[in-house]
Structure 1
Amino acid sequence: MTWATIATWRMAYEGMQKASEILAADGSAGDAVEKLINEVEAYPYYKSVGYGGLPNEEGVVEMDAAFMDGDTLAQGSVAGIQNVMHAVSVARSLSSEHYNSFRVGAGATKYASLHGFEMTNMLTDRAKARWQKRLRETQENNLNPYNGHDTVGAITLSNKGSMAAATSTSGLFMKKSGRVGDSPLSGSGFYVDSEIGGAAATGLGEDIMKGCMSYEIVRRMADGQSPQAACDEAVYPFIEKLKKRYGKAGEFSLVALNNQGEWGIATNVEFTFCVATDQQAPKIMIAYPDANQTTRIEPITKEWLDAYEKRIKEPI
């Protein structure tokens, strides 16, 4: 058998290294995807996920996360959870519940506390400073306050042929209290079936959920399309449909992996992602929308990586 994993954004790279070690040692797809996302959640310089994630307009960090087991189709989700270091681990725990497996707000936070998950103030000084700066800019210059909605989403395939998918995000920066995007919603932010493959999304959730994009990609793979063809033919026509019928479309980026270890990408923005297989060490790639509703994929450059590291750690 083969193992493989794919995840959104450069921020998944260190977690993918850990996930790859688990998969290479015949570990489970669920353990690997949870570990991958835990690494992102704990790193304070990633401002769109977990600890150090950017807050809503009231200065509160509300996180959304999901986990899905591709063997059983069991799912768990949380939305608007607060003060929990690893929202995705709470979602995975909830996936074992037949009832009440999607919990929100105070109910989700209470579940995490009662079940021994690590609790902490997720609003770091750096994130608070960024929030205060955005408040001033919005008030002084009448700017659109919304900025930053990069979800970490990942799919894993184990040597035993099992698959899992998971997502985690602090959501749209300066969002209204209680806003939930696509990330914890089955079929929109994520979907996986070990007999077929999986997909995960990042971007503007309000628009991604209009097309149930993750499920649509998996459906197309079930019909025999490769992950790349499924991504291209699901995402780009829907973006055009949305522009025509809704009047606009936000950012869309989706990753897909089938149960043979083949992967695909579609995006309407510059989009980095990470991928690893039993034949390929973890690597960072960059994708762009190309002509004729296709995707152009290139290796990342050292200059891009250097600029990225400088940008995420620059003073507020």
Structure 2
Amino acid sequence: MYNRRKFLKLSAATASVAAISRSAIAKNISAPDENKFPIVISTWDFGVPANKAAWKVLEKGGRAVDAVEAGVRIPEADMHNHTVGRAGYPDRDGFVTLDACIMDENGNCGAVGAMQDIAHPISVARLVMDKTPHVMLVGDGARQFAIEQGIKPEKLLTEESKAAWKKWLKKAEYSPVMNIENKQARQGSKYNHDTIGMLALDAKGNIGGACTTSGMAFKMHGRVGDSPIIGAGLYIDNEVGGATSTGVGEEVIRNVGSFLVVELMRQGLSPEDACKEAVARIIKKKPEIAKQIQVGFLAINKKGEYGAYALQDGFSFAVCDQNKQDLIIPGKYFYKDGK
């Protein structure tokens, strides 16, 4: 049984925060603090170099959507990162498949899912947004579109990833490890977690977001998680704020997590409290599963306030603004060691 008393306390706290007047909600949404932006935030410690790349765009007055695309391309290109981009671990059939989505301040969005042979899925998602009438392209269609746009296909399965896959095949057990980035970092490894989600607020007060991943290692061929799904792995509403997620995507999809966080901010919750309530929804629906997995949400509102909350201890996020370029903040959480 999960900790019912702790859950009820969490639910009561978020419910009390939500009980505010319509006038207060309107004031909360429409009062940006220009001293707090530009700003860019992203999931996990490897968000630091990604944020720095995004900041180069933001500090010149660039759009948030351009900043997040530039930012998440950094972990996509990192050959030590086996859960994002070209060095990602393959599925159980030995294929590296990548997912990504992007969204701008006008509600435009683009995504790709289960795409092979293309190293930067975020830029293909951007092309889907800018050059097609569609939101998402998947599989061979996404690959074909990328090549038609002049992107050169390349072999993504590295020798290191191939060796890890062959080792996995000996037992073929599918058991995602929570917070693998922190556990392996303590052992001197450069391996990272599954997803980078990034949110930026530019100098004009507009919000953009991006999310990119190679998905769970050794997943079933064709599996797509929450990362490329607008409303699940990422959602932006320029009147309210933006949210992104990381962790086991199936539970995020079941709760339309990022959209939920933004809608809770619309009702007046702070970014952290909105993330906390989204986590509470996961626990309420599937308490026994929730104790065994990690899901984290990260959000920012139009005032430049940000916050995060996760199922488990170990989640972190990176913040970059005009005052500090490499701030890492431990995310608050519900469970510690699954209890």
Shorter-chain-normalised TM-score: which range? 0.7 to 0.9
Q: Which amino acid aligns with 1:256?
A: A
2:214 aligned to 170, 177, 180, which one?
170
CA displacement, residues 8-48 of structure 1 (integer Å, 9 cap, x when unaligned): 11122111111112211211111110011000100010110
Show CA shifts across 1:105-164 (max 9, x none): 00000000110124211111111111111112x15xxx4354576111111110011111
Aligned residue for 2:108?
A: 74
TM-score normalised by L of structure 1: 0.85
The total of aligned residue pairs comes to 284
* Percent identity over paired residues: 35
CA gap 1:260/1:66 in 2 versus in 1, 3 angstroms = same
Aligned residue in 2 for 1:208? 252
CA distance in 2, matches of 1:8, 1:230: 16
Alignment match, 1:312: none
In structure 1, what is the Cα distance between the partners aligned to 2:330 and 2:97?
Answer: 29
- Tell me whether 1:45 sits opposite 2:80 in the alignment: yes
User: Which protein, 1 or 2, shows the higher relative CO under an 8 Å CA cutoff with sep ≥ 6?
Assistant: 2
CA contact (8 A) 2:241 2:302 kept: yes
Structure 2 residue 149 is matched with structure 1 residue 132: no
Report the secondary structure of 2:46's partner residue: helix
CA distance in 2, matches of 1:251, 1:21: 31
- Do structure 1's residue 54 and structure 2's residue 84 form an aligned pair? no
Matching of residue 105 in structure 1 with residue 143 in structure 2: no
Maintained 8 Å contact 2:94/2:162:
yes
Of 81, 103, 120, the match for 2:154: 120
Task: Please tell me whether the aligned partners of residues 112 and 228 of structure 2 are also in contact (alpha carbons under 8 angstroms).
Answer: yes
The Cα shift of 1:99 comes to 2.4
Q: Which residue number in structure 1 is paired with residue 267 of structure 2?
A: 223
Tell me what 1:21 maps to: 56
Query: Over aligned residues, Cα RMSD in angstroms?
Result: 1.8
Could you state the TM-score of these two structures normalised by the residue count of structure 2? 0.80
Partner deviation per Cα, 1:267-294 (whole Å, 9 max, x = no partner): 1121121111233323122224158x9x
**Out of 255, 261, 279, which is 2:298 matched to?**
255
> Which of residues 303, 321, 331 is equivalent to 1:277?
321
Conserved? CA contact 2:275–2:299, under 8 Å: yes
Q: Which residue of 1 aligns with 2:5?
A: none
Which of 27, 30, 36 aligns to 2:71? It is 36
SS at match of 2:299: strand
Aligned to 1:95: 129
* Partner secondary structure for residue 257 of structure 1: strand
Match of 2:174 in 1: 144
